[in-house]
Amino acid sequence: MVHKHFIKNAVIFTAMLLIVGVNSTPIMSKAGNDFGVAFSVDGETRFTGSQDKYTSSSVQMSCTDKDIDGSYYYGKVYAEENNEYYDVSHGYEYYFDVNETHNMLNWVNEEGYTQAVIQCEGYSVDDYHGAWFGGYWYPDI
């Protein structure tokens, strides 16, 4: 009888630990905004919309879609302040095609800014229709 009582208490204790553990465990998520933005590139330089940047971490960008085969773009991180853009990439730029994801080095916070954007420059773009790329980016990872 003592053995059944011990098993019952152990099961109850384990269930309580699981409930408390699940409710007290911090949820891991990307710092800052966790939504993506789509952007288009037509052979010229374009910027994504700006997002708040809270940490000195890398910026993550993922290219998930495009409409012109053979086209690609390079991206680098800029800071935005009062509709002015400032290169805070320190020369780092990243190649993007479909299914490419990069953690992009940047110095947004270190240089005193709080808004990040990504400058995108398209290549092998159709002269008549342009090109469209879609994806997501996170200012803090």
CATH number at residue 64: 2.60.120
Is 87 within the bounds of a domain?
A: yes
Is 10 within the bounds of a domain?
A: no
Q: How many CB atoms lie within 10 A of CB 101?
A: 14
Is 13 within the bounds of a domain?
A: no
Is 50 within the bounds of a domain?
A: yes
Among residues 124, 140, 3, 138, which one has the least CA distance to residue 67?
124
Is 55 within the bounds of a domain?
A: yes
Is 22 within the bounds of a domain?
A: no
Q: What is the pLDDT of residues 61-90, one digit of tens each?
A: 999 888 888 889 999 999 999 999 999 999
Q: How many domains does the chain have?
A: 1
Give 13-17's long-range contacts (Cβ < 8 A, gap of 24+). none
Among residues 117, 107, 45, which one has the least CA distance to residue 84?
117
Is pLDDT larger for residue 5 or for residue 37? 5
| Ramachandran quadrant class, 42 (left: phi over 0; alpha: psi -120 to 50; beta: rest) | alpha
Is 6 within the bounds of a domain?
A: no
Domain that holds residue 70: 35-138
SS3 of 108, please? Answer: coil
